[in-house]
């Protein structure tokens, strides 16, 4: 019997709209900075807040829709995170396999789970490129991956040429966000003093939780705090994990 807290078609539409909206806001800020209308320091404040919300919305969408059920916009995933990345189809396959084999030798995220904190953080910072390299090595370069790489590479080149220092500031800040989020969701959630599995996030004060929710939103904070429940039943929507636990 399906959980009363399971995601549904309404959630799929909501997360699809949210991912598009957040991505467009992020790229509008990038455009304004590239054109000199905003200081590049805006990235330090805005990118962490937007990226966490965007990655959570994309995560929830991947649990609901296949690559054939999303738009070309989603198929590209985040266009400006790396020119050497994967698309929605590949990210979804990797994530679902992570759920099936979390913390084992068959877990595709094991490279950023095992080992000490510094090693895991280093792996998290280059996780998009490493995942793409391993995917192509194991499965080859598909036509979809090829055209997506071409689009990303061309757009990267154009933006770098437009304003190299500002784009470098954007990209460096975004990569710290990507690495930090991946470090938390993989290493901290699946490695406890060298023991691999799925663990609860270390206890924090109510005030810290409230501040995190204010900054990053309720759902991203909930899926961190209730990560064991998410792995126990991936069909449950993020905001309902505490009630379903």
The whole-model pTM stands at 0.93
Q: Residue 197: is its pLDDT beyond 90?
A: yes
Contact 11, 60 (CB under 8 A): yes
How far apart are alpha carbons 20 and 18 in whole angstroms? 5
pLDDT digits (tens, 9 = 90+) for 66-83: 999 999 888 887 777 888
3-state secondary structure of 6: strand
Domain ranges in the chain are 9-244
The arithmetic mean of pLDDT across residues 150-161, rounded, is 90
How far apart are alpha carbons 74 and 15 in whole angstroms? 11
Residues 6+ apart with CB under 8 A from 17: none
Using left for φ > 0, alpha for ψ between -120 and 50, and beta otherwise, residue 194 falls in left
Provide the 8-state DSSP code for 111: G
Q: Residue 203: is its pLDDT beyond 90?
A: no
The arithmetic mean of pLDDT across residues 176-200, rounded, is 93
Report pLDDT for 200: 81
Rg (CA), the chain: 18
Assign 244 a pLDDT band (cuts: 50, 70, 90): low
Q: By C-alpha distance, which of 101, 63, 53, 59 is closest to 216?
A: 53
Provide the 8-state DSSP code for 76: T
Find tokens 């991936």 and name the residue: 234
The arithmetic mean of pLDDT across residues 20-31, rounded, is 94
Phi, psi angles (nearest 5°) of residue 154 = -65, -45
């Amino acid at each position: 019997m399906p959980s009363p807290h399971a995601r549904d078609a309404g959630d799929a539409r909501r997360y699809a709209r949210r991912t598009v909206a957040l991505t467009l806001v992020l790229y509008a800020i990038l455009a304004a900075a590239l054109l000199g209308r905003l200081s590049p320091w805006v990235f330090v404040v805005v990118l962490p807040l937007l990226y966490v919300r965007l990655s959570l919305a994309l995560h929830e969408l991947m649990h609901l829709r296949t690559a054939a059920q999303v738009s070309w916009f989603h198929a590209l995933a985040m266009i400006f995170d790396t020119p050497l990345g994967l698309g929605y189809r590949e990210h979804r396959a990797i994530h679902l396999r992570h759920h099936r084999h979390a913390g084992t030798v068959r877990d595709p995220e094991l490279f950023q789970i095992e080992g000490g904190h510094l090693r895991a953080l280093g792996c998290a910072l280059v996780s998009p490129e490493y995942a793409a390299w391993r995917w192509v090595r194991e499965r080859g370069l598909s036509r979809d991956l090829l055209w997506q790489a071409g689009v990303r590479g061309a757009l990267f080149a154009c933006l770098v040429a437009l304003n190299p220092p500002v784009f470098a500031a954007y990209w460096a800040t975004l990569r710290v966000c990507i690495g930090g989020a991946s470090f938390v969701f993989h290493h901290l959630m699946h490695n406890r003093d060298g023991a691999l599995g799925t663990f609860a996030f270390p206890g924090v004060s109510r005030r810290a939780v409230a501040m995190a929710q204010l900054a990053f939103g309720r759902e991203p904070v909930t899926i961190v705090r209730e990560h064991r429940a998410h792995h126990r039943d991936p069909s449950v929507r993020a905001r309902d994990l505490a009630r379903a636990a």
